[in-house]
């Protein structure tokens, strides 16, 4: 067996699935070793041998396996081969729910209680596996094991085991380096460089001990203690205290209308979201009155600016001009497109010492949005790495297992569908079940004949969905 593993390790190097040098990860971290396992799909016979060895540890007990599920996307071909060769049904976890039809996150045939094994190519923090496990467990599937090609030995295995996921890997980075050194593919210096890198670059994940292992299983009051951003703690505690997970989008053009709505809805909402660049009569007086209403009714202010420029420009947009958002907006939104340096500019360069937080826009509710694939994965990684700056993610599906990160979902309305400009709507219960902690309701309230009645209706439905989610998930642990 070891000779086979040595041979396969050399082949991985020869086909350039393993690379050495100076590389940068998607979230900006430097690394001397990089795995590009996507290339193995161009070597069918090699991929077949690799998957045969990967499956071998569980082959004798395969009769107890109902399905296998490959973590998208690199592991999908591996899982497909294992499925076909061993006659075990395959499940596919989508990166995001479809905006039409069944809107499912899991494709395939399954039943509650089925045993499902996860297939993955590489683990670093384990977050990709945890995201997949979370979705599968929400469908009442039993997931306790993951088969992995390479364990980077940076904390992912320990994190997964803390979530009751047993990990079996073909290789660790250490064993790979040993095999490649023996084969003369790398020098001792390269081995030492990688060894030192692993020692000093352990991923710091939040491990929840003694409580259920899914973000969705925890009530807001418990998650508040696990948040790294102080404002995330404040928001979770506020939601728990006020019994509301409603974020009201006050997309109105007159200050009097916004203030009237804020006063009316304030006792029943957690966050008031604005777009100040559409306000026609913006003034400092408006800001003072809005802040006073937020203090009086205990809600946070979010400016939906969606920053997306270089760090210096973002800093100027945040602090300067007529809006001076840093002086009054508790929360702002930002696209991750500019990278982590622009994100940290909002933390380090602002005209206030009061707590502030960022919601990173990972997914959008508009049809045809490009926030998908690798971009989406990078957005989630950035949020998890920068938890002291980031309060949460703007998204449409359950993207992160970290209990201290909130998920904010826009596009909520009682009736599903959309408008003529590509906006897609989902109902309150479906967005909460899909992972939303805060749900954004806008025109369904601002255009209602009785705005207070609409506020109360959405507040009630959203909170009931949250209570049902935590109650049902606790019952299954």
Which 8-state DSSP code applies to residue 163? T
Question: Nearest Cα to 389, choosing from 467, 314, 294, 296?
Answer: 314
C-alpha span between 370 and 362 (Å, rounded): 10
Contact 442, 251 (CB under 8 A): yes
Of the residues 304, 413, 426, 459, only one is catalytic, namely: 304
Is the four-CA dihedral 385, 388, 392, 393 of positive or negative sign?
negative
365 is in an annotated binding site: yes
Of the residues 95, 306, 340, 460, only one is catalytic, namely: 306
CA separation, residue 159 to residues 97, 202, 467 (Å): 26, 11, 27
Contact 141, 114 (CB under 8 A): yes
List CB contacts of 394: < 8 A, sequence separation 6 or more: 333, 359, 360, 361, 362, 363, 364, 408, 409, 410
442 is in an annotated binding site: yes
351 is in an annotated binding site: no
137 is in an annotated binding site: no
C-alpha span between 25 and 29 (Å, rounded): 5
List CB contacts of 119: < 8 A, sequence separation 6 or more: 54, 68, 69, 70, 71, 75, 78, 79, 82, 146, 147
Of the residues 309, 349, 388, 427, only one is catalytic, namely: 309
Question: Which run of H or of E encompasses 20?
Answer: strand 18-24
423 is in an annotated binding site: yes
Assign 210 to helix, strand or coil: coil
304 classed as catalytic: yes
CA separation, residue 80 to residues 86, 91, 167, 375 (Å): 10, 9, 19, 24
**Over 370-438, what HEC string results?**
CCCHHHHHHHHHHHHHCCCCEEEEECCCCCCCCCCCEEEECCECCCCEECCCCEEEECHHHHHHCCCCE
> Would you state the structure tokens that stand for residue 335, as one six-digit string?
């696209």
285 is in an annotated binding site: no
Which residues are catalytic, by number? 304, 306, 309
Binding residues: 251, 273, 365, 423, 442-443
Binding residues for substrate: 251, 273, 365, 423, 442-443
């Amino acid at each position: 067996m070891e000779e086979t593993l040595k041979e396969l390790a050399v082949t991985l190097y020869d086909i350039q699935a393993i690379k050495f040098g100076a590389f940068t990860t998607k979230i900006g971290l430097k690394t001397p070793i990089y795995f590009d396992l996507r290339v193995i799909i161009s070597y069918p016979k090699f991929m077949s041998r690799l998957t045969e060895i990967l499956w071998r540890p569980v082959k004798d007990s395969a009769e107890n396996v109902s399905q296998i599920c490959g973590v998208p996307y690199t592991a999908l071909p591996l899982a497909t081969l294992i499925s076909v060769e061993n006659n075990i049904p395959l499940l596919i976890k989508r990166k995001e729910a479809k905006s039409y039809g069944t809107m499912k996150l899991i494709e395939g045939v399954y039943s509650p209680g089925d045993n499902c094994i996860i297939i993955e190519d590489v683990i670093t923090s384990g977050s990709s596996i945890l995201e997949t496990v979370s979705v599968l467990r929400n469908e009442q599937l039993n997931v306790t094991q993951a088969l992995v090609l390479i364990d980077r030995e940076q904390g992912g295995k320990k994190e997964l085991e803390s979530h009751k996921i047993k990990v079996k890997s073909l290789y660790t980075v250490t064993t790979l380096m040993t095999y490649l050194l023996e084969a003369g593919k790398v020098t001792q210096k390269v081995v030492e460089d990688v060894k030192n890198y692993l020692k000093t670059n352990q991923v710091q994940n939040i491990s929840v001990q003694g409580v259920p292992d899914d973000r969705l299983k925890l009530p807001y009051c418990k998650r508040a203690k696990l948040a790294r951003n102080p404002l995330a703690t404040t928001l979770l505690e506020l939601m728990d205290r006020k019994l509301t997970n409603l974020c009201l989008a006050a997309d109105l053009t007159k200050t009097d209308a916004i203030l009237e709505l804020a006063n009316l809805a304030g006792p029943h909402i957690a966050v008031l979201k604005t777009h100040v660049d559409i306000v026609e009569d913006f003034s400092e007086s408006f800001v003072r009155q809005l802040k006073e209403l937020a203090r009086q009714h205990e809600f946070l202010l979010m400016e939906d600016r969606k920053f997306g420029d270089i760090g210096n420009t973002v800093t100027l947009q945040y602090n300067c001009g007529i809006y001076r958002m840093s002086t009054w907006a508790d929360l702002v939104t930002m696209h991750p497109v500019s990278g982590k340096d622009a994100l940290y500019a909002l933390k380090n360069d602002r005209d206030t010492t009061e707590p502030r937080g960022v919601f990173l826009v990972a997914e959008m509710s508009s049809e045809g949005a490009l926030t998908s694939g690798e971009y989406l994965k990078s957005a989630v990684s950035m949020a998890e790495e920068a938890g002291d700056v980031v309060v949460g993610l703007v998204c449409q599906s359950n993207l992160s297992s970290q209990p201290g990160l909130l998920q904010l979902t826009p596009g909520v309305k009682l009736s599903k569908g959309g408008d003529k400009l590509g906006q897609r709507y989902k109902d309150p219960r479906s967005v909460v079940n899909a992972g939303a902690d805060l749900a954004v309701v806008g025109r369904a309230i601002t255009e209602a004949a009785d705005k207070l009645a609409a506020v109360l209706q959405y507040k009630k439905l959203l909170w009931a969905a949250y209570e049902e989610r935590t109650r049902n998930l606790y019952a299954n642990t």
